[in-house]
Amino acid sequence: MGGRTRMRLVMTMTLLVGVLLAFMFSPCACLAGKETKAPDFTLANLEGKDVTLSDLLAEGPVIVDFWATWCKPCIKGFPGLQELFEKYKDRGLKVVAVSVDSPKSRSRVGPFIKSKKYSFEVLLDTQGRVAKKYNAVTIPRAVLISPDGEIACATVGYRPSNHEQMEKSLLPLLPEKKTEDGEVVE
């Protein structure tokens, strides 16, 4: 291999590694130009009631967070999800924590959620069918879905900055907050 060819190869590989690292470590992946329609799904919640994504989207944006009781980074991310939910639920935000715990460990989900007093919806995907549709190979995986069903943001792993970036992506999807007199509140 000649010197010029070797240099091009090194430059190309460096560029590819740089792009890959930038994508992997960006807190919220931009999905522009790709298929971004969120697959609809129906799963049972902790009470056994079926919950359908499209029904939730009729009320506003939804954050779908794939997690498991044995996943420490997932557990670390829950307080931030609860904070986002509390802050924006009055403007239509729904947060859905989709447990991918196996049928064996499924019995730990409800007690864990109750012990921490989380108030967002928890759904059970013990067979991993919905997680597969969302490519949740690594958890935690959070996906922000706009009311029209488009994926606006997706994160993998836990970093405190994920919630900040998720919030930035969420704000344009929410209706303006207004007083009883109809004035816009900041």
Residue 110 included in any domain: yes
Residue 182 included in any domain: no
pTM of the model: 0.80
The span from the CA of 163 to the CA of 81, in Å, is 7
Residue 6 included in any domain: no
- Predicted confidence (pLDDT) per residue in 31-81, tens digit: 443 548 999 999 999 999 999 999 999 999 999 999 999 999 999 999 999
Helix (H) or strand (E) holding 30: none
Q: Name the residue range of residue 141's domain.
A: 24-174
CATH of the domain at 129: 3.40.30.10
Rg (CA), the chain: 19
Give pLDDT, residue 4: 64
- For β-strands 151-156 and 50-52, DSSP reports them as unpaired
Residue 4 included in any domain: no
Across the strands, what pairs with 52? Answer: 42
Q: What is the dihedral of CA 80, 47, 64, 59, to 10 degrees?
A: -100
Instruction: Give the mean model confidence (pLDDT) for residues 97-123.
Output: 96
- Count structural domains, the chain: 1
